[in-house]
């Protein structure tokens, strides 16, 4: 814990949405990707999980793999039904006596039916086979409508596409010290009217009990008109800061977490987008400053924003 706890000079807030009971918390409050580090229990899994939200937030590879797995499982299920009633009920299919070859004929017929392609080489014969094929066609139409809608929702969902520097710095600033981190957009989108909100959680000992105090941090600049280049967000460690008395040892030993929310207007989507992240003391570098990450192009016709330098910093001497 800090030896000279400057947090006592600032007023904590109680509307952060998080509990002040540190003993009930596990790990960081907010993950690096902005999601709350929380798991819910007490209700069945099917009530806790929103399939729509889960599919919407999956990365592209996992989403594609999930769709392919569902498609394959449906085909295997209906192929098994066709195989059980006998491929003799599938006109154009030839019984070979080999289990694998016969099942493949049922599987590929199922694939053609599910996708409503229907090449015509194989067709159902009899009441039972036609009922199964009708059910599969209906499920196929519904499934592909849902998947198409989900692809569109994922493609059209507004996202901020903001990348944050992996490290939080304590850097020299205006003759004193300041907490700094840097961010930039990494896609070819343009964000305007960007606002930054930063809240810090400090875990402290009070009356022999560990509690969490939440403080909004005042920023040097909390609003910019255009996020065209990088944006270094600065919180000055002055008398207004709950961290004013923190030394390097305090930053290294005290359990803190800085939670960030960025809101901006995306011209392409004509919508407000936001992105969250957080920093803990493990990601803090004491006594460093960021180096420039943009420069004029060689021919002087444009500005080059070098995203690989987003976290580029060097050691710096802090005032005593």
User: Which residues are paired to 51 by β-bridges?
Assistant: none
pTM for the model = 0.79
Q: Quickly name the fold that domain 159-315 has.
A: Immunoglobulin-like (2.60.40)
Q: Quickly name the fold that domain 48-156 has.
A: Helix Hairpins (1.10.287)
pLDDT(143) > 50: yes
User: Which residues are paired to 210 by β-bridges?
Assistant: 205
Among 313, 314, 316, 191, which Cα is nearest to 263's? 191
Angle, in degrees to the nearest 10, between helices 127-156 and 60-85: 180
Q: Which sequence spans correspond to the domains of the chain? A: 48-156, 159-315
Q: Give pLDDT, residue 1.
A: 44
Q: Are strands 168-173 and 284-286 parallel, antiparallel or unpaired?
A: parallel
For 233-248, what is each residue's pLDDT tens digit? 999 999 999 999 899 9
Assigned token pair, 311: 């976290």
For 55-113, what is each residue's pLDDT tens digit? 888 889 999 999 999 999 999 999 999 999 988 888 888 877 788 888 999 999 999 99
Q: Are 163 and 186 in contact (CB under 8 A)?
A: yes
Helix (H, G, I), strand (E, B), or coil: what is residue 122? coil
């Amino acid at each position: 814990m800090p030896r000279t706890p400057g947090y006592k000079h600032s007023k904590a807030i109680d509307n952060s949405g998080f509990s002040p009971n540190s003993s009930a918390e596990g790990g960081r409050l907010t993950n690096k990707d902005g999601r709350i580090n929380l798991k819910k229990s007490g209700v069945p899994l099917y009530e806790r999980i929103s399939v729509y939200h889960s599919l919407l937030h999956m990365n592209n590879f996992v989403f594609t793999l999930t769709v392919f797995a569902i498609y394959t499982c449906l085909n295997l299920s209906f192929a098994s039904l066709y195989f059980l009633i006998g491929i003799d009920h599938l006109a154009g299919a030839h019984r070979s006596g080999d289990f694998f070859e016969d099942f493949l004929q049922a599987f590929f017929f199922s694939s053609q039916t599910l996708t409503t392609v229907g090449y015509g080489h194989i067709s159902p014969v009899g009441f039972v086979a036609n009922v199964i094929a009708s059910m599969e066609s209906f499920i196929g139409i519904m499934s592909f409508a849902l998947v198409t809608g989900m692809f569109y929702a994922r493609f059209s969902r507004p996202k901020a596409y903001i990348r944050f520097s992996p490290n939080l710095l304590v850097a020299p600033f205006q003759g004193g010290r300041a907490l700094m981190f840097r961010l930039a957009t990494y896609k070819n989108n343009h964000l305007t009217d960007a606002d930054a909100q930063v809240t810090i959680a400090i875990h402290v000992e009070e009356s022999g009990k560990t509690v969490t105090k939440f403080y909004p941090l005042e920023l040097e600049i909390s609003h910019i008109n255009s996020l065209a280049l990088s944006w270094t967000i600065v919180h000055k460690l002055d008398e207004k800061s709950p961290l004013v008395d923190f030394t390097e040892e305090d930053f290294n030993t005290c359990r803190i977490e800085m939670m960030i929310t960025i809101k901006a207007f995306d011209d392409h989507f004509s919508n407000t987008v936001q992105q969250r992240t957080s920093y803990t003391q493990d990601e803090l570098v004491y006594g460093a400053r960021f180096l420039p990450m943009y420069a004029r192009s060689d021919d002087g016709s444009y500005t080059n924003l070098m995203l690989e330098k987003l976290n580029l910093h060097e050691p710096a001497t802090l005032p005593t």
